[in-house]
Structure formats: structure tokens, C-alpha cells
Structure 1
Amino acid sequence: MHARLVRALENAAPGSVRTRATDRLGLAHDASHYLLAPQAVLVPRGATEVAALIRAAAAVGLGVTFRSGGTSLSGQAGTDQLLMDVRRHFRQIEVLDGGARVRVQPGAVLRQVNARLAPHGRRLGPDPASESACTVGGVIANNSSGMTCGTHANTYQTLESLTLVLASGTVLDTGAPDADAVLRHHEPSLAAALLSLRDRVRGNLDSVRRIEQQFAMKNTMGYGLNSLLDHDSPAQILAHLLIGSEGTLGFVASAVFRTVPLARHASTGLVVFPTLREAVAAMPELVAAGPAAVELLDAESLRVSGRSADMEAALLVEWQEEDLSLLAEREAAAHRLLGTSLSRDAAGRAALWHTRKGLYAAVAGARPAGTVALLEDVAVPVPVLADLCDDLTALFDRHGYERSVIFGHAKDGNLHFMLTERFGDGDSRRYAAFTEDMVDAVLGRGGTLKAEHGTGRVMAPFVRRQYGDELFDVMVAIKRACDPAGTLNPGVLLTDDPAAHLKHLKPVVAVESEVDRCVECGYCEPVCPSRDLTTTPRQRIVLRRELAAATAAGDLPLAEELAREYQYDAVDTCAVDGMCATACPVLINTGDLTKRLRASTVSPAQQRAWGSAARHWDGVSRAMKLALNTAAAGPFVARAATRLPGLPRWSPDLPRGGARRRPAPVSSPDALYLPSCLSTLFAPADGGAGVPAAVRRLAARAGLRLSVPAGIGDLCCGTPWSSKGLPDGYEIMRQRVRAAVGDPAVPVITDAASCTEGFERLLPGVPVVDAVAWVASEVLPRLRVTRRLPSLALHPTCSSVRLGLDGAIAAVAGAIADRVDIPEGWQCCAFAGDRGLLHPELTASATRAEAESVRRGVYAAHASVNRTCEIGLTRSTGETYHHLLELLDQATEE
């Protein structure tokens, strides 16, 4: 990007401009099948900087596109001009009126907002399947709905007010009593234009009829012209036009929503039908029974999601009620109607909804290598839904789209269908022909070409065809009034280019087997601890694709730049915590790729050194313990030493070295205990006895016997080798541990959640149990708690989440504390073995939000279930964290 343009933007918002290839290309990719590379990424820190940057961009003739969660499927969040990241510094959530309302910034993830509202028995109305990753900004920009909200509780219906930034830089709070006066004062021509357009539409009976018909369905095609019928004042018209405007009319800096009740009881079932038509034909009678959700799944979607291969179609149905007796009546009526039973079982219901919510990415992840997934969503009146299914099936056959999928929100006449296409050869003729036929089929059934995913680039050329010339001209006038220079998200939602949807199509480059199934949906990003420091799993993957593409194109300078930046941004600062796999619908663990890339840079000498360490781990761990003690005694020497490349950074908040692990074999034990070597490396907090002593004492109080095997000092879970991609050393340690453990008839337990994961991988077939889980099930029922804490701040770990320890941790914590809080902003701390020592900035970034939450509260104690996590949280919060079992030990002392 030209230096003059960069200076102009930097002057508007110093420190906000990113022009590195990694920043630009990492954010160029979203969940859609379009790809445009921005000239720069802008990262404003508030609404004032957003306004300044928009003005600066307009002055230099560049457009600005807002980017938040990047889960949109229609090409709304990409640009070849300026891309503004409005997620990083816009995540505040404020619950109002006991949960009846909530004020949210655009970067807050929908699931996080609902987690804040849940204690109040409330939730947001929109409930898209991407709720784990989509942000409020995207929900507003696309007028999101979802599985249960229909049109009665979507974004348009539940939004109360917006604080918005217009293209001119004007900031307006539409909820203020003087909002109309402020708008008329600062934007007189816009206020006048909105009222004129309101009167123009209302005075045209055909326009009124067409708008009412279109917005009786789910409809996100074009601008929300229903706002011109539903609202009278210019501020309210503007606020509701912003909903579904895809960032083309202004930036939403915050929004106030009216929330809806969170139903306490629900019952769910999967109803199988012999054909897709019969499933859809059952809809009118089923809808009359009042279900909260009816989700359609065809044979291919059922197959990919792991259901029986002989299923041809199914309806996922759910009833929700506040009253259990009313729910029982619903269940009985559903049984009479459908001939099947519903279930209230939480685990079973969650499994069904997990299948549905992850269906897009699961189906797309099963696509042939090198193809891109194209997901469309349309809506028609429910009575003609079966006919549209027949139309689409015929079109798939006519155009040669095999194994295409149909699913969606059948209750609302809203279908999603997915094709796979190969755009790498530049040929889009088949896709173009299919799209023309599909448009004719949907509009011929009185439908809308976009029900909930937004118009984007994919349907912009067809807005005029759906609404007609008059209403299209009204939309053009709205855009011109709000954004006269065309600065905001150019090329999206409205266009006169009939081929706009066929340009900038994304080629998919195959790179590595670990990640080739990635559909760039972004579900992984909210759980990634490095997302605010360097890159996310999606960005790591797309940067590999960009690197491969640059190499194939012979663009060696770009390839070298990407490779150079990738080392720190994607390899060194990846926590390898596997949390991405917990959120990924196709279970991609980007850490597997990172480990292999790390291994590729390890020299033979380093391999030999780590192999020797595996053979002499007791001596190595004691040497590391001694190094910590020496550093504590001579901090000036320690600081100088840690400036050397590749060495951990010492700081005064690191603990001294711990105690050597010693064997304690016993006959007929109740468990084989492998204390973590972390207790040797790091001394317990506050000079305590540490978790190994606590586990032994707790077992003794419960009358249970633990055996610590001979040679324990030389044993390790293998994580130091696996995380660095050192297979030789890992295999040496695996053999040592296997020989020491044998085939025990009792469970093997260890006292750090990350080590439990490590031993599980190291000892397949051996029952490995985390000490917290073992204590919760075997020890806690036999203990007497003598001292309870009034409050406890609890930090679960990434390993404890993946191990499914939430219930055990809650049981132990609840036994010792009257109030247990998992602070807002909790996520993996990214200490990740030695990452927190090599790159403390990674842990600082990952724990920043949680630390702020902890500092706002008052707690009697702070706990986690991993020693390195305790160190990381102590460092970031200034509060001392202990292992949860240490606190249980103190609470049950005789």
C-alpha cells in the first residue's frame, strides 16, 4: 500500500493500520466462497477511531468493509480496499434490567452474550446455528434469525436501539430522547431523505403489498424496506434500515436488545420419513402443533452427520415450555401426530442439536479436496416448500451437482442447500447456469433468494429481479442518502453488474492433510488463546494456503514474506492446546500441524539432546529445578541469560524449583499415582506442601491406598516432546512409562490435567484418570469438610475441558466453597508447557479478559487444576492460584 495512504490512515487513528502480508491475507478469508485481499487491515479502538478512519478512507478514495466474526457465507466481509477489524476492541456486554435488556458491542460472540443472560433466565432472540462463533455485529448486519426465532424474535423485532457511526463520521444514539433532533441537526439531508422515501413507499400500494409479502417470510435480501412501513421517525427508520444492511449504511458501535425468555424445559426428537417430500408434506399439520423448531435434514446430510445410511429424510423437532405439565401435553400430542417419542434427556438433545448446528461445516468438510462449499439459503411460503424441494433436486441433477445437500428451518419455509464446486480452473459457467435456474425457481414460488444469510455479493445482482425497479430504486436512494461517496462496503448488497456474483471466487488450495478439510468457517476463533496477539487456527490454515498459492504462482517475495512472518505468528505462538478441535465441526486440531512444523525445524543435534533428556528425565528435571532456584537467588544473571534466543524468560513472579518425586510402592493399591513432574519443576504456591502431598493426604483420610511406582522421577507424560514435534524422545518416554506402569488392575491417576491428557495418549488401553475426577468419585464422598470458603474463583483448563472434567471440578469446588465463579472471559491461559516461559506475551494476551474480571470481584481463594496454569493466572491477576485439591485438603483437615 502506498506510504502516503498509510500515513493518512495512521494520522486518523495512530497504531491502527496493519499492512503486513500475514495480517492482510489472514483476514482476507471468511466462510464465504469469495476471496479479496485488502490493501490494509484497520484495528480501531473505539467508535471515535472508526469515524476518523472512515473519513480518512473517503478522503483518499478507498472503501471500508467491516469484519467481525467472519462466519458470513455470502461474501459480505471481504474487500480489496480497507478491511476494518471491529471484533478485537468491541466485546463489551452489559446486562440491563435484570436481563430484560442487554447492551452489546459488535465483537461479542452470541454464545457469550447468552451465557451472561442465562443466570437471569433470558437469551437473545436470534439463534443462528453459528452462535458459537458469530458476533453481534454480524447478527445485526445480516438480520440473523435461526432455528426457533422465526420472524417474531429475529434481530429486527428484538432490537431496541443502536449507537451508530455514519459514513460522514456522525455518531448517533437512536435510543436517546433527542435522536431525531440530533439527526436533523447533523445530517439534515439524510433525515429529509428518509422521510421522503417513507412517504414515497407508503403512497405506492404496489410497493406496500410487495414489501408486506416479502417480509412475511424470513427475508434478508436487499435493505429492510419494512422499516419504512413500520416506523415513522427518521432515527427509528435509520436504526432499522441498519439491520440487515451488511455494513453498507453505517457502523453499529453498540446495540441494545430486548431479550426473550429462556425456556426451562424442552423435549426433542428426530422423526424419520421415507422421502424428502413426505417429510416436507408433514409440515402444515406439524407447524399447527406449535413446535419451537422444526429442522429438515435430507438423506445426504444425515449420512455425513453420522446417522443411519438408510435414512432418506428426517425432521428434528423440539417443543419448549416454561411449564412441565404443558410440555408433557406437547409430548403426548407429538406422539399421536408423529408416532415417535420425544426426549428431555439433556445429553441426547445436545447431541441432536450438535449434529444440526455443525451440519454446514461437517458437510462442507466432507467435500472432495480442492473444491469449495457453496451454501445458499432461500425461503418460500410453507405450502409450496415441498414443490421447491422437488425443483432443487431436479436442478442438482440437471447441472450435475452430485451429493448436494438440503436442510434448513422447515417451519419457516427456509431451506439451506449446499453444492461443491471447483473454481481453481476459473470456470464458473456451470455455477452461473445453476444460479439463474435457481433464482427463477425460488421467485416463481413467491419466495426470497436470501432468508437469513444476507445478500452479500452472491445475490446482489438479483435484488432488482426480486423487488422490481421501483423498490430497487428506493434501495439505491437509501444507500446514496446514507453513504454519498460509496465508502462503506462497496460491491455488496446492491450492484448493477449482472456478473458480480461470479467474480473473486475463492480457489481452494490443498496444503496439509491435517487441515485440508477446513471450510474457513471460523468456529475455532473464539476459543483460540492467541487470537488477539497473532493468529487464529483459521488464519494459520489460510496462510498456509496463501503461501502455497504464492509459491505456485512464482511470487517468491510474497512467499518469503509469509514464511518469515508465519514462524512467530503461527508456529511459535500457537498454544497447541487443542481447543480449536473442541469448536471445529470437523474436529480439526490445528496444533497437530503446528507440532509437525515445529518438528521440521528441529536439528539432529536437538533431537539427540531431547532424546537424552527422555532417558535421564529425573536429572534433567532436577537441573531445571536448580536453575529456577539459582535464578531466584541471582535475578540479574537470570535476566541476562534469558535474553539469549530460545531460552525461557525468567521473571520474579516465577516460583522456585519444587521437590523431587520419590517412589512409594504399596501392594494392592486403589490407584497407581504418577505425580506430575511439574511439582518438581515448580514449587507450590505460598510455600505450601503442594498437590502431590494433598492427593496423598486426601486418599489417606478416605482410607484409600496409592502406589507411586519405582523410577517415578524419570517418568513424564510426554508432552514436552509431543508439543515440540520430537517423536524420538516421545517414543523413548512412552516405553519408559509403559514399562513402569505395566498393565495395572487399578486406575492410573495424575495431578495435572495436561499430564492426564498426556498419559492418556501415552498409555492407550490403560485407565488413566485425572486426580480431580478420582477424588470427586472415590474420595470426596468419604470426607468431612470442616472449613468452607465463602467464594472461589475457578479457572478450568483447556485440558480439563477436553477431558470432560467440568462435573468433577464443579463437585469438588462446590464442596469447599459457598460460591464458585468461573470468571467472565475465561479461556485457555496459553501457558502451554513452556510457551508461557518462552512467550509470556501470549499468556498475557490470553488471560487479559479473565484477569480483568477477577480483579473486579472479591474472592477468598483462587484455584485451577494445573500448576503452569496456576502460575499464568497468578502472574496475570496478581492473586495466588492453588490447585483445587490443595484447597480441598485444607478444607478437610482434621
Structure 2
Amino acid sequence: MSESPKAMEAFIDAMTQVLGREQVITDYALRYALGTDASFYRLTPQCVVLVKSAEQVQKVILSAGEYKLPVTFRAAGTSLCGQAISDSVLVLLSDDWQDYKVGEDGRWISLSPSLVGARVNRILAPYGRKIGPDPASINSCKIGGIAANNASGMCCGVKHNSYHTLKDMVIILADGTCLDTADEQSKAAFRQSHAELLNALEQLAQQVRDNQELSERIAHKYRLKNTTGYGLNALVDHIDGIEIIKHLMIGSEGTLGFIANITYNTVVEPAFKRTGLFTFADVDSACALIEQLSALPIAAVEMLDKRALLSVQGHAVMPQNVADFPAEATALLIEISEENQQALDKLMRSVNAILAQYQEQLVHGYPLSDDAELAQALWNVRKGTFVAVGAVRDTGTTVIIEDVAFALADLSRGIKALHHLFDKHGYKEAIIFGHALAGNLHFVFTQAFDSPEQVQRYEAFMADVAHLVAVELKGSLKAEHGTGRNMAPFVALEWGDDGYAVMQQIKQLFDAQGILNPGVIINADPRAHVQHVKAMPASDAQIDKCIECGFCEPVCPSKEYTLTPRQRISLKRHEQQLLNQEFTFKDKDVYRRLSALQQGYQHLAIDSCAATGLCATRCPVGIDTGAYIKSLRAKQMGNKPVITKIATWSANHFAMTSALARVGVRGAHLSAKLLGAQRLERISAQLQQRFGTPLYFSAWPKAQHGEQTSGQVMGGDKVVYVPSCGNRIFANATEQSVQQTLQSLCDKAGLTLVIPEKIAELCCGMPWQSKGLTEVATQKQQQLQEIITQLSEQGRWPVVMDASPCALQSQPQKKQSQQEESSPVRVLDSMSFASEYLLPRLAIKRSEEPLWLHITCSSQHLDGGSAMLNLARALSSKVSTTEVSCCGFAGDKGFTHPQLNEHALRHVSASKPRGCTVGYSNSRTCEIGLSRHSGVSFTSLLSLLDERALAPSN
């Protein structure tokens, strides 16, 4: 479908009037960045619309229909097969759309499409339940995408996928009609207004049931995992037209309508589990075992071939001799679970009896165990396989993960045949792993598309794969990843002409204009799977390994404000792609795009990045986009000698710099008294937008009173304490400073607190590091390291910092070679120190009052927040968190770029416990931003510990 430029202009104008300019995005750099998804395809939308409600979606669909413009819906963009890209109108689900309702003690849950799957399971956890689908991307993917792709996962199988656990749905069709299948009035109205559609679907269903061969084919296909094409099982399983519509929407990939809400019947989350890993000498033995295990209620059996095992042999839990395993070695990760110990023991006896039959074929094994740490390590091995291929691929290539399913009786044959095809087409790095109980195999390989020969190789390989799976073994070409553009040319091959004709009729009945996600599922182009392939040019070694999966995005504070890590990388790659082209200034289109990217990148990517590196904790290949952005800032600082000189002076005279900062804080409060707080806030906002000066606001902290120094150093156990500059400049929210609080706690615990004499001159270096002033930051780091090494007596005593970002910044550098020595100093943040050194020495008065906690980015880096949670749970039986990954204050950005902090905390109040008036964290600047946007005062968790701690009686 080719749309008129005038039609697009009219649509944009109409949507801007209805939704506002912020939700209708036409800027080229933003459109390109937002058009990025996890697939290896690329289209750039002409317009991106951010929607926050079903009503807004209706307006978009109606307007797109009026102007005959194709529209594609996007949830999290973690889909792999090209079903979420567009060169027309791309509709993105806003994170603001977060409604849910839990019913019948957790037995069902009604969800808005923008909720992330993992968050839904956290909501259900207190009920001991979860949603059935469990895709590997559950920490990132959204409910709308899970349902639209019928995503399943490792433990889901067929029984618990979206199709089989669906209760009700709110659907918006191509004509703008909204159908709520849980509402009798909505259904009655729909039966009147859409009687023709319902009759046509019911007649089509009858035709399918009358076609015995097709009905048997459908029954066979859906005994397997199958997401190829439309869910034709809806026409066999249901007679009523509304039920057919409801179930056809599952797996329809946005081509039949929009899922505005979905209600799932939830499933039990078993409390008792055991996990083991068993490696067998040959494929046949492993597959025979899988068939036997399939008769039992096994939670999961994950399969890894030898190549997959070799890709993750660096994991500590893996044996050292994987390379010596037989060529056909096949590992099975087995997990069993039950609701009670007695049932689990009974199941374990049955499983062990079957395993005993294969002892002679066993090469290596970890028996079934309830060791949680071992289980996590084994699952990390399985989950690390896809990552391993992506991390070592050649720059310029893309990672492709295919997704097929066989009947269990054909599984061994299928695995061997796929290995043969890898060798035939030269994919030596290809590995196989998958959800073995469902016969579901994923195979991962790397592919370049930069020459006709490479494209031909991929086409020949895919043709052979399609024939093997769909024709020879009657399997599924797509088991759980969806059809998309990648498999659209092969839908007819799998389903036959009669099955494909039914799908074409379904598409016509729902979307006569063909405006809903055209080219996906139904596509007449036999080469659609090699069109619009994403360019992956070398850009920077720090980011070249990015596979654009989007797993980083949920923890990024600038998501929907500017860009995410994936989008920052995507834009930089596109800039490089344009620079690699041979063009002159006469090539206006290329020059225009390049200019737009380069001009927009400063604010979108560099200035608005919190640069905390939290993205690296979610990245499958470990990319720290924050560090990359800091490197770009460093390059820019090289061209700003005046700023570098000022920074050097501030570092060399840090006591004076801190004193001036305290004067500035006091001056702000004095100005507020003279001018009035609201007037000062308006004035400072104008100055901030124009000159980047700090913003004054009502939660502006008071100034700390000078620096604290050590008293007389006593005997006994000691701890070296480095008060952070944040706590030395900004006063605590409570009357007692953090320094005084820690001194009080150490007195109670019988510890001597040692503070460096020249504390006023010391800093961890982060204020300079975050701005790209690397040399200055390194100078301050080295100065601090020398002093704490001396005071800790070469690491004899621990070093504690009262702000987690400073503790993270001051972690001893790992040795780069055998000749270097690692630092002996152990640097702890205040939470780790309190959990490890204070709690065992103190008597704590535990309360039943709710405790609201914010786990900072740096705490997540240090230990996943476990020390802070441990401390909080010692203080209260009712601990909840802000559910904010990063507050976006980022040192001083809450003052200089307050929009980032405001955006990151826009939903923070939703998680506030009822009656809560105080929140707790462990970074003063984060606490300032949280106090501003949460409606309660945030302070150090140490304050509450001191309030409830008593020295133990002798």
C-alpha cells in the first residue's frame, strides 16, 4: 500500500489536534530511533504516535482508516521476526498505560497492554500465582505483545499459553469499534452492529470443520507449539463468533485489530522445586528420555546441543572438558515443581527411575537438587546460550534466532537434520537449544547481508529449513516467536493452499482496507524475508556487539522522555551508515537525514542520559551504554579547554568548591524567603531552560553545617568512614546528619569510626567522571584510594561510604595482568556495612509499620539491592519498594536537567504504601528527587536503623 504524502500530513495534523504535539512524533531522529525493534529488519516510520488509552487507539485507527494509511502497533519491540516495524504510522504503547485488576484471590487478572510481563507476575506473587506465558523476554516484553504474538516460553508449553489461559479481552477493530467480551451489553451491541462479520466467521468455521483433512491438520499443528499464521484452532475449538474473534486475536500480530485489555486465568506458581542438568552421549538417548518424561507433570526440560554447551563453557558450573564430549552430546536441564513437598518427592522418585535407565549414556550430570544457587547457575547456563553467540559475532553481522517445533517422535531426526543443514550452508557457529518437552527448538546463527552471495546463502538455507520442518517432518516453522515478515513467505508451505486461503479470508473480513500491519503474516512477496534488512555497521567497539533486543529499556529513566540505550545505539549506527555512503552535499536527502541525526543526538542521547550504567545489568552482552555516553562526553570535553581548567581547579580546591556549594544552597533558601518559593521556582525554571543553571524547587535541601573530622582514634575494631560530598553539602531530611547517625550506630555496635583528616578535599571522582572529565576524575580517585588504603591499614579494616554511588565508583580496580596487584581495600556502601557489621551487633526493634524503600542504581550494581532489602526487613515486616529502577537524578542532573528526574518518577506515587509519610534510600541526591516527586520525605535508611537499634545488653 502506497500512501499519499498529503494524506500523511492530514493525519498528522488531525492526530496533533486530538492528542497533542508531544504524542505525535515527526522528528526524523526520533522516528528512526523509535522505529527500532529486536528483529533484523528495519523500516523508518513517517509518523510515531504514542497512545495512553483505548480511546486514543480508537481515534488513531479511525483517522488512519479515513486517510487509508497503514498502521502498526508496537509494545516493547522485543519481537524477533519483523512484526513490529513500519514505514507508515507506528503506534507505540505508552508506559503510562498501566491499569490492572486482580480477581478471585488472584485466579484471574485483567491487564492493560503496556504492563511488562515480569511486573504482572510480581503483582500476582502474593497470591502464589502467575500468568501462564513465560517468554525469555518477560522482564522487558509487554502484555500486549505477549498476547499478540502468543508468546510462550520455557515452562509454558501449549497448555498455559495466552490462547488457553485467555478469559476475556477488549478489542478495537479496524473500523474503530470496541468490543469488550466481558461485558454483556458490549457483546449484545456488537452482535447487532457486526452481525455480518460474525455470520461470516461462523460459516468459515463450519467450512473448516467440514474439511476433514484441514481439521486434522489443525489438530496436529496445535498439539505442537505453533504460531505460524493465524490461529486456525479458533475455528475448530469455538462455534460462537465472538469467541472466535477473541481467540483469533491471540497471535494475530496486530493485523486483525488491537488488544486494548486482556484478562488471563492465572496459574499456580509452585513453591517447591528441584533442578538438575544431565548431559548424554548422543541425541537419540536424550530424545528418548524426553519422550518418557513427557508423560509426567514436569515443569521444564531444556535441551542444549554440544555447540551450545561449548558456547557457555566459561560458566563456573560447567565442566572443564566439554570439548572432549562426544560430537552428539546433548544436555537436558530438568526442573520439577509441585505445590507441596510430598508431591515433589513422589514426582522426583518417578523422574529418577526414568533417569536410571540412561546411566550408561550419561556423560556428566548434576542430580536434581533443591539448591537454589545451583538452580540459578544452571538456568544461567541455559539462558546464556543466545547471548554467547551474539557476543562473539563478527562486527557487521546480525544474530538470527529461528524457532521451530517437531513432534517428540521426530525430535531426534529434526536435530540431526538441522545440524546437517548448518554444515551444508556454512553456519559453523550455529547452536541449538530449546524447550524440549514441547519439541520446540531454537537455533541461533550469525548472518551478514552485505553482499548478494550472503543473501543467497540465507535464502537457500531458509528454503531448506522450511522444507525440512513443514514438509518432511510436518512441524511448526514458528513455535512461539510469531510469523512476522521473516516467515510470511512460508505460511502457505506449512498450512497448504486450503489453510492459507482461510487465513486470507480472515484478514479480509477483519481488515478490508489492508491498513493493519500490512506485510505481516499475509504477504505475497516470496522474498519478503530478505527485504528491508537492518544495517549493522561498525560504529564503536563499546556498542558494536549490541543485538538491539531491547532488554535494557525497562530500566532506562529516559525511556519515552528522549531515548533508551538501544535507541541511542541505533541512531549512532545509522549515523555511521550514512557516513559510509558516498554522497555530496547535492544528495539532499542523505545530507538532511545526517544533519538531523547529528543535531538531535546531543539532547536526545548525550545530555539526557543518566549514565548510571543500569542498562548493563539487563544487557545480554553486557554493554554499558552509560559508559559509552560518558566516552562521547569526554571527547566533547577535549574541545572545551576552559571547562576542563575550571574542573581541574574545582578538584584541586575541593574544600572551597564544597563550601561554595553550601553557600549556594543557603543562598537559594534565603532567596526563597525574600521572593517567595513559588516565584523563585518560576524564575529558576526560566534560567534553567535558557542557561542550564540549577533549578530551585520546594524539596530543595538545606545546607550541611561544615565537614566532620575524626575524634581520637580508639582501640578495638575500626571502620574507615568516607562521608560522601553529597552528604557533606546537603543536610539530611532528619535533624541528625548521616555522619552523626553512622557515628551513633557505630558507638552502639562498639566500632570505632575513623574519618580522614582531610575529608574536605576528598571525593570519589564521580562528579567529573559523569561529565566526561576522565583525567580529573582519575586524579580524585587515586587521591582517595591512597588515603583509604593507609587508614584501613592495607585493607585490615573495612571502608564505608554513606552514598551507594560513591561506593560503586570507589570499588578497587581489578588487576589487568598477572604483574599487577589488586587493591586489598574493601569498600562497602552503608547498606552492606550495616547489614554485615551492624546488624549482628545490635538489638533491633522490628515494626509492623510499612517501610517504603528506593533501591538505587548503584545498589543494584553492587549486590542487586540485597543488603538494603536485608536491612529493611530487619526493621519492618512490611517492606515495599518504589518499583522505580532509576530515579534519573543522576548526581546533579536533577538540578540541571530536572525533566529527566520528573519523567523517571512520574509513576512513583502509585507504589506508595497507604499512610506512608517517610521513604528511605541510601543516596542523598536520589532522596532529594524522590522527596520532590513522591509526596513524602525521603531520607537515609540508616536514620531508621539508628532510631530502632539498641546496643545489645551484656
After TM superposition, the structure 1 = structure 2 runs for residues 434-453 of structure 1, keeping only pairs within 5 Å, are: 434-443=461-470, 444-453=472-481
Residues 139 and 565 of structure 1: is their aligned pair in 2 closer, same or farther, counting only changes over 3 Å? same
- Cα drift, residue 587 of structure 1: 1.2
Structure 2 residue corresponding to 1:355, chosen from 357, 381, 397? 381
Task: Look up the SS of the partner of 2:152 in the other structure.
Answer: coil
What do the CA deviations read for 1:642-667 (whole angstroms, capped 9, x no partner)?
45523222223211221322321625
Match in the other structure for 1:881: 938
Match in the other structure for 2:346: 329
1:324 aligned partner, one-letter code: Q
- Structure 1 window deviating more from structure 2 (81-90 vs 523-532): it is 81-90
What do the CA deviations read for 1:397-456 (whole angstroms, capped 9, x no partner)?
111111101111111111111121101235511111111111111121111111100111
Residues 566 and 277 of structure 1: is their aligned pair in 2 closer, same or farther, counting only changes over 3 Å? farther
What do the CA deviations read for 1:673-703 (whole angstroms, capped 9, x no partner)?
11111112211114x1121111110010111
Task: Look up the SS of the partner of 1:385 in the other structure.
Answer: helix
Structure 1 residue corresponding to 2:565, chosen from 524, 528, 537? 537
Query: 1:517 aligned to 2:541?
Result: no
- Structure 1 window deviating more from structure 2 (709-718 vs 807-816): it is 807-816
1:729 aligned partner, one-letter code: V
What do the CA deviations read for 1:538-593 (whole angstroms, capped 9, x no partner)?
11110111111122234222112111111111111111112111111111110011
Residues 166 and 815 of structure 1: is their aligned pair in 2 closer, same or farther, counting only changes over 3 Å? same
Structure 2 residue corresponding to 1:256, chosen from 259, 263, 274? 263
1:423 aligned partner, one-letter code: F
Structure 2 residue corresponding to 1:57, chosen from 58, 64, 67? 64
- Cα drift, residue 178 of structure 1: 4.2
Match in the other structure for 2:438: 412
Structure 2 residue corresponding to 1:14, chosen from 16, 20, 29? 20
* Equivalent residues of 2:111, 2:262 under 8 A apart: yes
- Structure 1 window deviating more from structure 2 (334-343 vs 834-843): it is 334-343
Match in the other structure for 2:819: none
1:35 aligned partner, one-letter code: R
Q: Could you tell me how far apart the structure 2 residues matched to 1:446 and 1:794 are?
A: 53
- Cα drift, residue 633 of structure 1: 0.6
Residues 123 and 616 of structure 1: is their aligned pair in 2 closer, same or farther, counting only changes over 3 Å? same
Task: Look up the SS of the partner of 2:105 in the other structure.
Answer: helix
Q: Could you tell me how far apart the structure 2 residues matched to 1:186 and 1:536 are?
A: 43
Match in the other structure for 2:403: 377
- Cα drift, residue 347 of structure 1: 2.1
Task: Look up the SS of the partner of 1:428 in the other structure.
Answer: helix
Match in the other structure for 1:610: 647
Task: Look up the SS of the partner of 2:294 in the other structure.
Answer: helix
Query: 1:169 aligned to 2:176?
Result: yes
Residues 811 and 418 of structure 1: is their aligned pair in 2 closer, same or farther, counting only changes over 3 Å? closer
Match in the other structure for 1:826: 884
Unaligned runs of 5+ in 2: 360-364, 584-589, 814-821
Query: 1:501 aligned to 2:536?
Result: no
After TM superposition, the structure 1 = structure 2 runs for residues 695-774 of structure 1, keeping only pairs within 5 Å, are: 695-742=742-789, 743-761=794-812, 764-774=823-833
Match in the other structure for 1:588: 623
TM-score, normalised to structure 2, is 0.91
Q: Could you tell me how far apart the structure 2 residues matched to 1:465 and 1:643 are?
A: 59
Structure 2 residue corresponding to 1:779, chosen from 838, 843, 862? 838
Match in the other structure for 2:699: 653
What do the CA deviations read for 1:761-806 (whole angstroms, capped 9, x no partner)?
5794421111222122222232233584622211111111111163
1:748 aligned partner, one-letter code: V
* Equivalent residues of 1:773, 1:805 under 8 A apart: no
Q: Could you tell me how far apart the structure 2 residues matched to 1:642 and 1:446 are?
A: 65
Query: 1:4 aligned to 2:10?
Result: yes
Q: Could you tell me how far apart the structure 2 residues matched to 1:533 and 1:463 are?
A: 39
- Structure 1 window deviating more from structure 2 (469-478 vs 335-344): it is 335-344
Query: 1:106 aligned to 2:113?
Result: yes
Residues 724 and 275 of structure 1: is their aligned pair in 2 closer, same or farther, counting only changes over 3 Å? farther
- Cα drift, residue 92 of structure 1: 2.3
Match in the other structure for 1:557: 592
Match in the other structure for 2:459: 432
- Cα drift, residue 8 of structure 1: 3.3
Percent identity at matched positions?
A: 38
* Equivalent residues of 1:180, 1:233 under 8 A apart: no
Match in the other structure for 1:474: 502
Task: Look up the SS of the partner of 2:811 in the other structure.
Answer: helix
Residues 350 and 92 of structure 1: is their aligned pair in 2 closer, same or farther, counting only changes over 3 Å? farther
Query: 1:694 aligned to 2:694?
Result: no
Q: Could you tell me how far apart the structure 2 residues matched to 1:851 and 1:571 are?
A: 28
- Compute the RMSD of aligned alpha carbons: 1.9
Q: Could you tell me how far apart the structure 2 residues matched to 1:425 and 1:667 are?
A: 73
Q: Could you tell me how far apart the structure 2 residues matched to 1:42 and 1:642 are?
A: 29
Q: Could you tell me how far apart the structure 1 residues matched to 2:164 and 2:607 are?
A: 46
* Equivalent residues of 1:361, 1:519 under 8 A apart: no
Task: Look up the SS of the partner of 1:98 in the other structure.
Answer: coil
Match in the other structure for 1:868: 925
Task: Look up the SS of the partner of 1:185 in the other structure.
Answer: helix
Task: Look up the SS of the partner of 1:495 in the other structure.
Answer: coil
What do the CA deviations read for 1:333-361 (whole angstroms, capped 9, x no partner)?
44444354112122221222233335323
Q: How many residues align?
A: 891
Match in the other structure for 1:314: 331
- Structure 1 window deviating more from structure 2 (875-884 vs 170-179): it is 170-179
Match in the other structure for 2:865: 806
1:859 aligned partner, one-letter code: C
- Cα drift, residue 629 of structure 1: 0.6
Structure 1 residue corresponding to 2:491, chosen from 450, 463, 466? 463
Q: Could you tell me how far apart the structure 2 residues matched to 1:105 and 1:359 are?
A: 32
Structure 2 residue corresponding to 1:205, chosen from 212, 216, 219? 212
- Cα drift, residue 536 of structure 1: 0.7
Task: Look up the SS of the partner of 1:43 in the other structure.
Answer: strand
- Cα drift, residue 612 of structure 1: 2.0
1:708 aligned partner, one-letter code: I
Q: Could you tell me how far apart the structure 2 residues matched to 1:486 and 1:853 are?
A: 42
Unaligned runs of 5+ in 1: none
Task: Look up the SS of the partner of 2:691 in the other structure.
Answer: coil
What do the CA deviations read for 1:64-99 (whole angstroms, capped 9, x no partner)?
000111111111001111110024343323222211
Task: Look up the SS of the partner of 2:489 in the other structure.
Answer: helix
Q: Could you tell me how far apart the structure 2 residues matched to 1:761 and 1:548 are?
A: 36
Task: Look up the SS of the partner of 1:215 in the other structure.
Answer: helix
- Structure 1 window deviating more from structure 2 (870-879 vs 765-774): it is 765-774
Structure 2 residue corresponding to 1:790, chosen from 843, 846, 849? 849
Q: Could you tell me how far apart the structure 2 residues matched to 1:457 and 1:880 are?
A: 51
- Structure 1 window deviating more from structure 2 (15-24 vs 246-255): it is 15-24
Task: Look up the SS of the partner of 1:128 in the other structure.
Answer: coil
2:556 aligned partner, one-letter code: C
Q: Could you tell me how far apart the structure 1 residues matched to 2:599 and 2:397 are?
A: 28
Q: Could you tell me how far apart the structure 1 residues matched to 2:232 and 2:412 are?
A: 28
Q: Could you tell me how far apart the structure 2 residues matched to 1:246 and 1:642 are?
A: 44
Q: Could you tell me how far apart the structure 1 residues matched to 2:421 and 2:661 are?
A: 66
Match in the other structure for 1:548: 576
Match in the other structure for 2:721: 673
- Cα drift, residue 497 of structure 1: 1.6
Match in the other structure for 2:153: 146
- Cα drift, residue 892 of structure 1: 2.8
- Cα drift, residue 506 of structure 1: 1.5
Q: Could you tell me how far apart the structure 1 residues matched to 2:845 and 2:482 are?
A: 58
* Equivalent residues of 1:622, 1:680 under 8 A apart: no
Q: Could you tell me how far apart the structure 2 residues matched to 1:682 and 1:729 are?
A: 23
Match in the other structure for 2:817: none
